Amino acid sequence: MLTAKQHQLLLFIRDRLAETGVSPSFDEMKDALGLKSKSGVHRLINALEERGFIRRMANRARALEIIRLPEGQAASQPAGSGSNVVSPDFGAKSAPAPANDDHSVEIPLHGRIAAGTPIEALENRDSFVTVPMGMMGRGNCYALEVSGDSMVEMGILDGDTVIIESCDTARDGEVVVALVDREEATLKTLKRDGRNVALIPANRDYNTQTYDAGRVQVQGRLVGLLRQYH
């Protein structure tokens, strides 16, 4: 699942390629999405490329190729409709429900969290996961499914389920759910650097993301991990 801006940009590129055969410039993409700077476009392009939706063609300026569209996206759907994109909601404030035994509890499963490029976390009020009591943090907890591979060197793999303790602060070195610009969520190691916050991946193929501290909100910290073997 893409964020609203990623989805909007992907469809804008698709429509421009269909109309002119040439991908839009960064200035055109910035204006179309109402962004203040081209740095935001760079971040969105990197996100789409890393998630396999577009490809940049080497040694050619303004050369982008659409590889695929979001699942269920009709080829004729107008850019910017974004009907299948839901805003993030980490309202996991309710106490965990008891499971069928005294050693486990059920906690809400709030969708997918990117362990690569930031992605929206989707709330699903009807989904729960059963976890051992010993894996719970001291506060209220919720679960997220990991999407991406940027935390693999810490043993957090694509498809894993992470257990997150709700909190709004964290210590340097903790793995956190961070909400960037109030719309995109990511799972990274947190480190403060003066007035900035660094979100550090555990994969040498990914770069550290650094933001002004005011752009990042901690939504919880990692306290456990579940994995299914098929």
Answer with the residue of higher pLDDT: 62 or 42: 42
Q: Which of 171, 214, 174 is nearest to 195 (CA)?
A: 214
Q: Which of 23, 104, 147, 150 is catalytic?
A: 150
pLDDT of residue 88: 41
pLDDT of residue 80: 35
Class of domain 97-226: mainly beta
pLDDT tens-digit map of 210-228? 999 999 999 899 999 988 7
The answer to whether 42 touches 26, Cβ cutoff 8 Å, is: yes
CB neighbours of residue 1 within 10 Å:
18
Asked about 188 being catalytic, the answer comes back as yes
Task: Give me the mean pLDDT over the 109-129 stretch.
Answer: 68
Q: Which residues contact 13 (CB under 8 A, 6 or more apart)?
A: 23, 24, 29, 54, 64, 66
Q: Which of 23, 104, 147, 188 is catalytic?
A: 188
Task: Give me the mean pLDDT over the 166-191 stretch.
Answer: 90
Asked about 39 being catalytic, the answer comes back as no
> Residues 154, 50, 221, 179: what is their CA dihedral angle, to the nearest 10 degrees?
160
| CA 49 to each of CA 97, 150, 159: distance values in angstroms, whole numbers, following the listed order | 39, 14, 20
pLDDT tens-digit map of 30-46? 899 888 888 888 888 88
Domain range summary for the chain, segments of one domain joined by +: 4-66, 97-226
CATH of 4-66, one of 1.10.12.10, 3.40.50.2000, 1.10.10.10, 3.40.50.1000: 1.10.10.10
Q: Which residues contact 46 (CB under 8 A, 6 or more apart)?
A: 117
For the whole model, what pTM was predicted? 0.59
One fold for 4-66 and 97-226: no
Answer with the residue of higher pLDDT: 117 or 88: 117
